[in-house]
Amino acid sequence: MKRTITHLADGRELIYFDLRDDADRSAIDRRTLDPRPVASELRYDPLTEEWIAIAGHRQTRTHQPTGTAAECPLCPSSDARSTEIPAYDYDVVVFENRFPSFSGNFGTYEAVGGLSEVRPGVGRCEVVCFTSEHSSSFSQLSDAQVELVMEAWADRTAELSAIEGVEQVFCFENRGSEIGITLAHPHGQIYAYPYVTPRTKLQLGAASRYTKGNLFADVLAAEREAGARVVASNELWTAFVPAAARWPFEVHVYPHRQVPDLAALTEAERAAFAPLYTSLLRAFDGLFGVVMPYIAAWHQAPVRQGRELAYLHLELFSIRRAPEKLKYLAGSESAMGAFVNDVLPEEAARMLRSQIDH
């Protein structure tokens, strides 16, 4: 694997991850770009004890073009067109988001009154292009490509964790126009937050109150033992529908060894994850014979807190519950955070298992 750091015309960092050691990464960004916007501000909600990022500048960002490769900013550049990636080809590339929710580029923030504390949205947001092929998808990547993406995630997790003020690194993929993705090109994002996210806080709180061992490890062991909701497994990983799934199709993927984050996975663990995960994604697409919109979320230990309690795992879920039906977060979920799931988790697991190619 070869890693090359370069910079875009407005100073943002761009990093190539190449399978081949002889890849030429000398191309420069020929565009003229506006200066980078300042970071969002964080406001504290004293009632929920959560930080909310207010990113006013994101409203003014240019609407990104849809669909075709001819106008895609994530395709490689060509003689005729300069994109976000100066090179004419790439394997995996990571760069700083042009309109980030969090960045190191912050102005001054004044008190806003009320009981809300305000501070700058320190951190970083990056885009990860999984392949240069516009019409591909994560599910179509080869094992070697998936392993390269995992190396990139591990690299970014370690680097971003070292930024002053960063408390948690989140690698994720949003896929599908149904969940608001306007760029069809296979890509994901990485958020380096200046606080521990609400969901991680909840999970670690539960783990700290559990006294029989490691809560995550025991959930995994119990699901493997029960078996009814296991969708796929190999020697090093298990994928299962959680007993109390929130989403119509939701699968959690755990390594069998407790590690805090992606940077702590071994080469063997990365290699074993690749075929299991892509077969899972293909099973998602096979359910209804239509592209499944999904969110794939890596839960990693925070940078400083609860690292011994946390357990790296991926939570993958779709909002599609039937060929032409989507689950929307309406009153109960959005207003009260109280989920109602119309699909029995055991049935979801059975449907997904039947789609797994062995």
Q: Which residues bind Zn ion (CB under 5 A)?
A: 69, 72, 74-75, 134, 185
> Which residue lies nearer to Zn ion by CB, 74 or 297?
74
CB 134 to Zn ion: min, Å: 3
CB-closest chain residue to Zn ion: 72
Task: Give the C-alpha separation, 88 to 24, whole Å.
Answer: 10
CB 137 to Zn ion: min, Å: 12
Residues 6+ apart with CB under 8 A from 298: 153, 170, 171, 172, 262, 312, 313, 314
> Which residue lies nearer to Zn ion by CB, 75 or 265?
75
Our answer to whether residue 187 is catalytic in this structure is: yes
> Do strands 187-193 and 118-120 pair parallel, antiparallel, or not at all (unpaired)?
unpaired
Task: Give the C-alpha separation, 61 to 88, whole Å.
Answer: 26
Residues 6+ apart with CB under 8 A from 205: none
> Which residue lies nearer to Zn ion by CB, 132 or 318?
132
> Which residue lies nearer to Zn ion by CB, 134 or 201?
134
CB 311 to Zn ion: min, Å: 35
| Residue position matching structure tokens 């599908």 | 176
CB 89 to Zn ion: min, Å: 12
β-partners of residue 298 are 314
Q: Select from 232, 84, 240, 92 the least CA-distant residue to 154.
A: 92
Amino acid found at 96: E
Q: Select from 294, 289, 285, 337 the least CA-distant residue to 314.
A: 294
Q: Where are the beta strands (DSSP E) in the chain?
A: 2-7, 13-18, 41-45, 50-54, 92-96, 118-120, 124-129, 168-175, 187-193, 230-233, 237-240, 249-255, 294-299, 313-318, 320-322, 325-326
CB 337 to Zn ion: min, Å: 36
Contact call for residues 244 and 222 (beta carbons, < 8 A): no
> Which residue lies nearer to Zn ion by CB, 72 or 207?
72
Helices and strands per DSSP (H, E), number in the chain: 6, 16
Residue 77: strand, helix, or coil: coil
Contact call for residues 261 and 312 (beta carbons, < 8 A): yes
> Which residue lies nearer to Zn ion by CB, 105 or 137?
137
Measuring CA to CA, how many Å separate 96 from each of 16, 63, 227?
Answer: 12, 18, 41
Q: How does DSSP classify residue 34?
A: P
CB 282 to Zn ion: min, Å: 21
Q: Which residue in 63, 134, 187, 252 is the catalytic one?
A: 187
> Which residue lies nearer to Zn ion by CB, 90 or 317?
90
- Residues annotated as catalytic (active site), given as ranges: 187
